[in-house]
Amino acid sequence: MGDLELTEIIKAGVFHLENWLTLNGYKNIEVSIWQSGSADIKADGQTENILVQLKAMQLPGKRVEPNGTDKFALKDLAERHNRIPYIAYLSIDEDKNITEEIIWERLY
């Protein structure tokens, strides 16, 4: 199959993240903002409402870490929507299967 297009990687990542959120009791999951190499997802949980910026990549590949400005922007957006900001790092293979557990980073 080979390398996937960036759009395919993000769509596969969103699919896996939505499944994880649903299995963990989150409701009203909304993919709201698309950016190059990431997607922002709102979800309502029993203990907190969250805004997750998904960083998806195809293996083998290098995880892209957001810089301080990106993290500040995510925290600001989450605050304006009364949500807790997270970044979720997700890896998929060429068949769009998730390859490892999602790595979560909560921004304070």
What confidence score (pLDDT) does residue 96 get? 95
* Residue ranges of the chain with per-residue pLDDT less than 70: 1-2, 33-37
What confidence score (pLDDT) does residue 80 get? 96
DSSP string covering 38-70, please?
Answer: EEEEEEE-SS-EEEEEEEEEESS--PPPP-HHH
What confidence score (pLDDT) does residue 32 get? 74
Scan for tokens 């299995």, then name that residue. Answer: 23
What confidence score (pLDDT) does residue 33 get? 63
pLDDT, tens only, 71-91: 999 999 999 999 999 999 999
CA dist., res. 65 & res. 68, Å (int): 10
